[in-house]
Structure 1
Amino acid sequence: MRRVSLSQGLSVGLTCSLTLVLLLLAHTSTVFANGMAASGIDALHRAAGAQLDHLPTQEIDQFWQHLQQQYGGYLPDDSGPSLIKSLLDGGFQPKHLISGLTRYFLSSVVDHARLVGGILILTVVAAVLETMQAAFEQQTVSRVAYAVIFLVLLVLAIGSFTEAIATARHAIETMDHFMLATIPLSVALLAASGSLASAAFFQPMMLFTVHFITNLVFFIVFPLVFFSAILDVTSTLSETYRLTRLASLMRASGLTILGLALSGFLGVITIQGVGKGIVDGVGMRVVKFSVGTFVPVIGKAVSDAAETVLTASLLVRNAIGVAGLVIIAGITIFPALKILAMSFLYSGSAALMQPLGDSPMLSCLGTLAKSMLLLFACVMAVGVMFFLAVCILLAASNLAVVMA
């Protein structure tokens, strides 16, 4: 019985010892695996940083610094001079962005309140003169005074509308310059990471589309919106000769042209971009399998090293793409909010003046508010189109890497 109990004790002791050893080995392997994963992530970040240091990102940084100088009080101030490095290191935190945009909108309202206040005073004086025309013995004098005030009001309103068009043109022109500065770098990174089909498609397609959309808006859409506003305003001068239907036709034509261009561009670039991404992914997977299988001795090591380089390149490309999205959003939103603030002021002035009666000046203010709202829609449409183009480019490149 003693021998049995002794043997049982030895077996229990050996079992406990083996269990303890296995637990220690499991813990050690877990710690080692975590350490290897952490070291792998650090090595990947170092490789991405080394690639980024050799890339010409000065133009993108200049656009970001220009945005910081122009709208510094309304942007996140913790990103530093280089937005790409901040995104790669995880230092960019877009907090308080909504409050910053709200403050910018209110400041734009305050900046243009003086001009709209002057227009409002002139509108009140003109409405009073129109109401009191019957009290004058010579109505010709009151009509001349009303016409002079109305012409001054038209000059101020058209000057404000011209400023809104200049703001919209500058915003779209800045977007055009930024896209032309970003596309070659992004396409070069696509080609360097093995996405040759995507690079061959996006390079000519994006450059052609950016030029085409910019010229389309500058030379067709904006003139149609401008002349439709002028025709609506001049139609208020006479009750007999009106051109409001022609103005509506021009406005609808401009919006239709812009909508068709936007739909066609996004449809083509989405279908073709995703297709090219799938082709690149299949090609990269075939190359990786071939190198790892048919190259003797060092094939697996070469395949793993190439995968590390491609992953680091993917990080850099995504950082540049996200930086492009942030800059495009900044270039688009701030001028669009300025135009929206001007439209809000004119709409508010027309609403405040409505109790004085339905006058031509009231129609003029409402027409200008509607035309400025169309300018806001044009700027936002072009900005959203460029924003989605960069998103599709990023999605195509990431799809190729994921499939590989």
Structure 2
Amino acid sequence: MKTALSLIFISLILIIPINVQASETLQQTEQTEQTEQAELPNASMLVEEQAEKLDVEEIRTYWDEVMTEYGGFLPESQKGSLLQFLSGEKELSFQEWMKAFLKFLFHELIANGKLLGTLILLTVFSMLLQLLQNAFNQSTVSKVAYALVYMVLIIIALNSFHVAIQYTNDAIESMSNFILALIPLLLALMASSGGLASAAFFHPVIIFLMNTSGLLIQNIVLPLLFLSALLNIVSTLTDQYKVTQLAGLLRNISIGLIASFLTIFLGVISVQGASAAVTDGITIRTAKFITGNFIPVLGRMFTDATDTVISASILLKNTVGVIGVAILLFIAAFPAIKVLSLAFIYKLAASILQPLGGGPVITCLDIISKSVIYIFAALAIVSLMFFLSLTVIIAAGNLTIMMR
């Protein structure tokens, strides 16, 4: 009995210090975790630090160009440096920019009023000469005068068409250069947030598709549209020789090329980009699970710190992406409005003058109006492709975070 009591007493003595030591160890562990959690960086602070260290010089150049050229149509709340909008000091307003676009549209219509007046005067003069031909039994002098006036009208119309093509080429070139300047920044932020596979996929694919789209539109589609318009105008010169079918074929080929490339572009970007994002999300989730469960204390601290850094990178990537989409919209919208205003001027001239009499002059004005609309459609489709490419990149980065 005494032996049993002594064994129990010795056991209690041995057990009590172990429990005390264990409780002290648990307390120290909790204090260590709290200290480490307190020392973890704040996401907002990381966003500010990364925004200050980002190399946005090329993007700032495009922003400054937009502000310099079109800033007069904007309110003061939408003017400022790029860093002010990146840091959140100022915010973009969709309503204010829509008002600016409307102001610019009315400005272009007023600026093209001289062109409208010239078209109306030349058309009225050509109709008077046509009446003189009928009155004096096809006088040779009136025929020559009518031909000269009609040739002047054609030259003005083709010059306007060339101006519309030049606006479109400049806009596409500016958008391509801007995308090539923005993509490395977005992909670097995507890679820092864990989207390594997405960044590796998007970098060569985006560069290839951007360059291909620019070359396709500038070197094939726009020349085909110009040739189609020229053939349609030539067909109005005589009733015996018509090439309208060839003009329609060239126009259909150009539109078909744009539609086919848009389909391929969207398919490659969306499907492959989503699969790469899912791969990144699963990889990050697996790495977090292994680190958090197989490395005690330090593993949890590491995963928490990684989450904070990834969240900050995602926030900054989304901000840069939204600003990039806005700049892309501004680069494309103002030239598109110029092209659209030209088409409206020719359509308005044809509509006003048609009651005075038909004939090849009205047909020529209508042809130029429709051809400029096709130029506007080509610019709009290219802008849509660039816009969707940025949107898919931003969405792919967010999908990676959702999957983790």
- TM-score scaled by length of structure 2: 0.87
Show CA shifts across 1:22-66 (max 9, x none): xxxxxxxxxxxxxxxxx9999322210101211111111111110
Q: CA deviation at 1:319?
A: 1.0
* Aligned residue in 2 for 1:177: 177
Aligned residue-pair number: 366
Query: Structure 1 264/181 Cα, relative in aligned 2: closer, same or farther at 3 Å?
Result: same
Q: CA deviation at 1:247?
A: 0.5
2:353/2:362 contact within 8 Å kept: yes
1:64/1:81 contact within 8 Å kept: no
* Aligned residue in 2 for 1:192: 192
- Unaligned residue ranges in structure 2 (runs of 5+): 1-37
2:169/2:218 contact within 8 Å kept: yes
2:62/2:327 contact within 8 Å kept: yes
Task: Tell me which moved more, 84-93 or 354-363.
Answer: 84-93
Q: CA deviation at 1:78?
A: 2.7
Q: Map 1:4-19 onto structure 2 (within 5 A).
A: none
Amino acid at match of 2:102: T
Show CA shifts across 1:66-117 (max 9, x none): 0011111234543554435414426213142222111111111111110221
Does residue 309 of structure 1 match 2:272? Answer: no
* Aligned residue in 1 for 2:327: 327
2:67/2:79 contact within 8 Å kept: no
Q: Map 1:47-126 onto structure 2 (within 5 A).
A: 47-75=46-74, 77-79=76-78, 81-83=80-82, 85-89=84-88, 91-94=90-93, 95-126=95-126
Alpha-carbon distance between aligned partners in 1 of 2:39 and 2:391, rounded to the nearest angstrom = 28
* Aligned residue in 2 for 1:139: 139
Alpha-carbon distance between aligned partners in 1 of 2:208 and 2:279, rounded to the nearest angstrom = 23
Amino acid at match of 2:155: V
* Aligned residue in 2 for 1:43: 42
Q: Map 1:313-392 onto structure 2 (within 5 A).
A: 313-392=313-392
Show CA shifts across 1:248-273 (max 9, x none): 11001100000100111101110011
Alpha-carbon distance between aligned partners in 2 of 1:66 and 1:232, rounded to the nearest angstrom = 38
Amino acid at match of 1:209: L
Alpha-carbon distance between aligned partners in 2 of 1:259 and 1:307, rounded to the nearest angstrom = 42
Amino acid at match of 1:83: L
Alpha-carbon distance between aligned partners in 1 of 2:211 and 2:397, rounded to the nearest angstrom = 23
2:71/2:79 contact within 8 Å kept: no
Cα RMSD of the aligned pairs, angstroms, is: 1.8
Alpha-carbon distance between aligned partners in 2 of 1:295 and 1:75, rounded to the nearest angstrom = 55
Show CA shifts across 1:287-322 (max 9, x none): 111111111221111111111011011111111111
Show CA shifts across 1:214-271 (max 9, x none): 0000111001000001111111111111111100110011000001001111011100
Alpha-carbon distance between aligned partners in 2 of 1:228 and 1:244, rounded to the nearest angstrom = 8
2:40/2:305 contact within 8 Å kept: no
Query: Structure 1 42/359 Cα, relative in aligned 2: closer, same or farther at 3 Å?
Result: farther
* Aligned residue in 2 for 1:20: none
* Aligned residue in 1 for 2:213: 213
Could you tell me the percent identity over the aligned residues? 38
Q: CA deviation at 1:193?
A: 1.8
* Aligned residue in 2 for 1:32: none
Alpha-carbon distance between aligned partners in 2 of 1:363 and 1:72, rounded to the nearest angstrom = 38
- TM-score scaled by length of structure 1: 0.87
* Aligned residue in 1 for 2:294: 294
Amino acid at match of 2:396: A
1:211 aligns to what SS in structure 2? helix
